[in-house]
Amino acid sequence: MEIKYQGFLEDLIPILKEETKRLKNDKEKGDYTAGQLHEYCHTLLLLQQLSIEINLPLSSIGLADISELSHKYGEIPSTIKPAAFKKLIQKLVKALKHKAANLKQKKTNNEAFQQGQLQALYTILSIMQEQAELSFDIELKEIGLEQVELSDYM
C-alpha cells in the first residue's frame, strides 16, 4: 500500500511544474505573481533537496530535470524503500507550514509579494490535501495535512 505515496508525488510534482510555467508566462506580472512564482519554485527545489537528503532518486518522482542542486551530491542508491516517499511528503508539509507561519508573522515592505507567497503556499497545501484524499486515499493526518485553513495563510 506504500505505493500510493509515490503516486501522490508523481501527480503533485507535474502540477507544481505546470503552475510554475504558467506564472512565468503571466503577462501581468506584479509583486503578487512574483511572490507566487517564488514559492512554487522554492517548493520544487525543497522537494528536490529533501529527496536527496533521504536518498530518494530524483528520477523516481520526476525531479531529475531540476539540476541546480543535483550536482552537489554523490550517487544516490538505486534501491528505494517505499516509506521514503511518505517521509518526503511529511517533511515537505512540515517545511511549507513552517515557512507560511514565519511569513505571516514577518513585517514586510512589499505586502503584495508576501500575500502572493502565502496564497501559493496555501494553494500548494490545498492541492496536496485534495490529491491525498481523492486520488490516493491517504489520510491527511498521516502526512500532516489535516489542518490547512485559508484563514491560517491570509
Instruction: Report d(CA 128, CA 133) in Å as an integer.
Output: 9
Q: Locate 104 and state its grid cell.
A: 505571516
Provide the 8-state DSSP code for 38. H
- Among 36-40, 78-82, 98-102, 112-116, whose mean pLDDT is lowest? 78-82
Instruction: Grade residue 77 by pLDDT with cuts at 50, 70 and 90.
Output: very low
> pLDDT for 115-148, tens place per residue?
999 999 999 999 999 999 888 889 999 998 887 7
Whole-model pTM over 0.85: no
> pLDDT for 6-53, tens place per residue?
888 888 899 999 988 888 887 677 888 888 888 888 899 888 888 888
